[in-house]
Structure 1
């Protein structure tokens, strides 16, 4: 697997929800000791192959994001604990990440 260098947080419009997810992802990465990963947010139209190594998104746009690359789906976008748990599980699934 390729080392994750970039994460794109996506929602439908790329405004509020994805920005909240971006802040939670940055906090979770810091807790996980993965401070070198660049995190940004955008709308679903920006979820294209090569845009990021990992997409973090809401369940309603997961299908689109997963077509562009590895994706983590969130049921509750503002739930920091869900973000932390899912990212931890993602990174533990493959120690090369």
Structure 2
């Protein structure tokens, strides 16, 4: 990954408390997995920003390397990678996501 792309992703992750790299945006998700995570975040009343990876191929490829995670969407909270759709859904169902979004730690 180019340093410029890594720096841009790093800045996005660090400057937004809750950030979702997704296909589309929170108003118009472009895939079912992205839409599911957006719905979960909205259910919790989370304030979050999104990055549409379809708008920038370098970010789309770079975020997978940045997180060492092969799929989109990817959720970051407090600068830390949380996971993709399946992990977010599991955390939501267990109640751990609410704690994480409120600023509490999850058990790992």
Give the TM-score of the pair, scaled to structure 2. Answer: 0.39
Higher strand content, 1 or 2: 1
Query: Which structure: larger Rg?
Result: 2
Give the TM-score of the pair, scaled to structure 1. Answer: 0.42
